Chain A
Amino acid sequence: MNDRRLLGSIAVFVALLLLPLAVHDTFFLRVATEAIMWVGLAVAFDVLAGYTGYLNFGHSAFFGVGAYTTAILMMRAGWPFPAAAGAGGLVAAAAAVVAGLPTLRLRGAYFAIATWALSRAVQQLALMSSLTGGPDGMRLTAYLQPRFFYWVMLGVVGATFFLLWFLLERAPFGLKLKAIREDEQGAKALGLNPTRLKVQAFVLSAVPTAVLGGVFAYWVTFIDPDSTLGDLVSDQALVMVVFGGMGTLLGPVVGAVLIFAFKTVFWAYLAEYEVLYVIILGAVIALSVVFLPNGVLGTLRRRGAVRRPGSGAPALTTPPAAEAGAAAGKGAA
């Protein structure tokens, strides 16, 4: 992603920041808050999925861990919200390391099912444990300030987005992850340690998800294993990323916005057909894989709507540098 797009993203972010000052409709703010949350969840999911090539079907486990850690610390230990949410992030980071070390050794496809099994096991645990309130869930003290949550959500997602932009598109980390994705065995010969990189990516994916889970918990004031640890969070993140375009930062954003828009419209008019929603999600995933291999964003790029050289070569360097490089490189090898 080059500097022009970065500037565009910053502009959009600033506009979103100022939005509540212009728009006072609380319903609209709530919808926007949720939309922003999904953007964050999708982008975090893509770190491991698109960049590294490992599908974490247990994405919802991190969301739930963050939600429950925040709820438990706030309600049972009296912690203030920021500390509780932050703690949720740390717990998720630790969980990612512990869960990731053995499972990331499996090849990508097997890792997917392993994480899926893990998230179901975590959901079981939450259902049975009294600490988490079991199937009845937990209530948090209500703090009804829509603008507050809007800004917190935007802040977390914004921080995540720009941090990931730096790490994945500017710093070497992103390219290294892509190398693992393309050819893990070959990457080793180039000095890359796949397990370490994968675990780092896993943690990077887990922490924002968990923090968003914590914010979500405080925002909606009631959480239960179904809403925070169920498959739906992982499934939707997956759809958003596959539909939007994997391996980029803007792809998940586009996917999140579109799928979320669809979801909102669907639930507004077709709430009785909730089973249909799952069918449609499944169909969108399957069809995207067949017909939109690079997601909506990738397909638009290929059609020339958005010009992009090769597969996204860094815009930092252009051929004229090669002449200077060749002159300087006579003695190098």
Chain B
Amino acid sequence: MELLPQALADGVMLGAIYIIIAIAFSLVYGVMHVIDFAVGEWIMLGAFAGFHLNQRTHVDPFLLLPVVFVGFAALGYVLQPLIQRVLSGHKGNPLLMGLVFTFGLSLMFRGLAQTFFGFYSHSTPSRFSTGSFFFEKGGFFLTVSSVRLAGLVYAVVITGVLQWLLKHTDFGLGVRALAQHKDSAGLMGVNDRRTNAFVYAIYVGISAMTGVLIGTILSVSAKMGPEYTIFAFFVVVLAGMGYLAGVPAAAFLLGIIQSVFLVYLDPGYTLLAVFAVLYLILLVSPTGLFRKGV
């Protein structure tokens, strides 16, 4: 019982990171109408980028974040037209084919990662890795590791930036217009191809950056991708598809579930638990926790 506040705190901090992934993932879906199966692989690739850059340059991963973002965003920007081509080339079911395409990509990325990075898992060291804050109150102990706290700060900052971008810039206006009504937005001068490319670039960049962080807080391995794809999906569906305001609650729930299993039970059961929760909630409320989904 003394461990509960710890588990909760850890879960909340973990959840903060999932919020970022879920928001970026939803954004891409909302604008491009494609579910990127490879989201976990972008995270994985980012994590490896962070790890190897840190190994080579000994620069703290937190300082590497902008570098990773720019590099991956550029990659995403270049890749996006290909995805666009897939989506517009299918009379029948572009959404489904987009998913199949990104699934193919995810297989390739995972295979390539295993080829170049091997099968072992690593952890990216950071100056925050060893610090922690210690609280004690009335029999409850709480250790907040600095690195997780830094992760929380990162999440808050990025959410703030995204919020600003979406609500207070012309670019953001264009994005929201596209998400709501693709054809009309085009007629009003929103260059949908370029906006799409930028949105995808930002999404890839954010995912990779988040990967760097995950590599520092948790670990990096070539096989870590699928778990995060499932987590991203879990958060988005639980929040209610298309209902961004529900994301934080769902993300925190996921973080707490994961944390609780780490502390109290066998982490191997985490995925089972996640799926069980998802299944039960879908059974009761198919439109998500808040019944506001599409």
Contacts and interface: CB of A to CB of B under 8 A. Distances in A.
Interface of A: 53, 55, 57, 99, 101-103, 105-110, 112-114, 116-118, 120-121, 124-125, 127-128, 181-182, 235, 238, 242, 275-279, 281-290, 293
Interface of B: 35, 37, 82, 85-86, 89-90, 92-93, 95-101, 103-112, 114-115, 226, 229-230, 233-234, 237, 241, 266, 268-269, 271-272, 274-276, 278-279, 282-283, 286
Nearest to A181: B93
A238 B101 CA distance: 11
Contact of B101 (A103, A128, A181, A286): A286
Contacts of B107: 235, 278-279, 281-282, 285
Given A106-B282, A114-B278, A290-B89, A283 B234 contact: no
B269 A285 contact: no
Contact of B96 (A105, A108, A279, A284): A108
Contacts of B85: 290
A290 B101 contact: yes
A288 B108 CA distance: 14
Contact of A120 (B37, B106, B271, B279): B271
5 contacts: A106-B237, A112-B96, A112-B103, A125-B272, A293-B97
A282 B93 CA distance: 20
Nearest to B294: A107
A118 B86 CA distance: 27
Nearest to B275: A121
Given A117-B233, A285-B101, A293 B90 contact: yes
A32 B37 CA distance: 34
Contacts of A112: 35, 37, 96, 99, 103
B100 A53 contact: no
Contacts of B98: 109
Given A117-B233, A275-B111, A102 B106 contact: no
B108 A279 contact: yes
B86 A289 contact: yes
A113 B235 CA distance: 12
A286 B105 contact: yes
A275 B115 contact: yes
A113 B282 CA distance: 14
Given A117-B278, A128-B268, A277-B111, 18 more contacts: A102-B283, A102-B286, A106-B237, A108-B93, A110-B241, A113-B230, A114-B237, A114-B278, A116-B226, A121-B272, A121-B276, A238-B100, A276-B111, A278-B111, A282-B105, A282-B107, A288-B104, A290-B101
Given A106-B282, A113-B230, A117-B274, A53 B96 contact: yes
A106 B233 CA distance: 12
B265 to A, nearest CB: 12
A277 B107 CA distance: 10
Q: Which of B100, B101, B268, B283 neighbours the largest number of chain A CB atoms within 10 Å of its CB? A: B100
Nearest to B273: A121
Nearest to A57: B103
Contact of A182 (B92, B115, B230, B286): B92
Q: Which of A113, A182, A242, A290 has the most CB of B within 10 A?
A: A113
Given A275-B111, A283-B108, A113 B37 contact: yes
- 4 smallest beta-carbon distances between A and B, as pairs: A282-B107, A285-B104, A286-B104, A279-B111
Contact of A124 (B37, B99, B100, B271): B271
Contacts of A99: 279
A276 B237 contact: no
A276 B115 contact: yes
Contacts of A118: 275, 279
B177 to A, nearest CB: 23
**In this complex, which of B110, B269, B275 has the most chain A Cβ atoms within 10 angstroms of its Cβ?**
B275
A311 B222 CA distance: 42
A226 B285 CA distance: 34
Given A55-B96, A105-B286, A279-B112, A110 B269 contact: no
Contacts of B282: 102-103, 105-106, 114
B229 A113 contact: yes
A279 B112 CA distance: 7
Contacts of B104: 281-289
Nearest to B34: A109
Given A55-B100, A105-B286, A242-B100, A286 B108 contact: yes
Contacts of B108: 278-279, 282-283, 286
Contacts of B99: 55, 108-109, 112
A101 B278 CA distance: 13
A102 to B, nearest CB: 4
A191 B110 CA distance: 44
Contacts of B105: 282, 286
B237 A110 contact: yes
Given A113-B37, A114-B278, A290-B85, A282 B106 contact: yes
Contacts of A282: 103-111
A108 B94 CA distance: 11
B269 A128 contact: yes
Contacts of A278: 107-108, 110-111, 114
A278 to B, nearest CB: 4
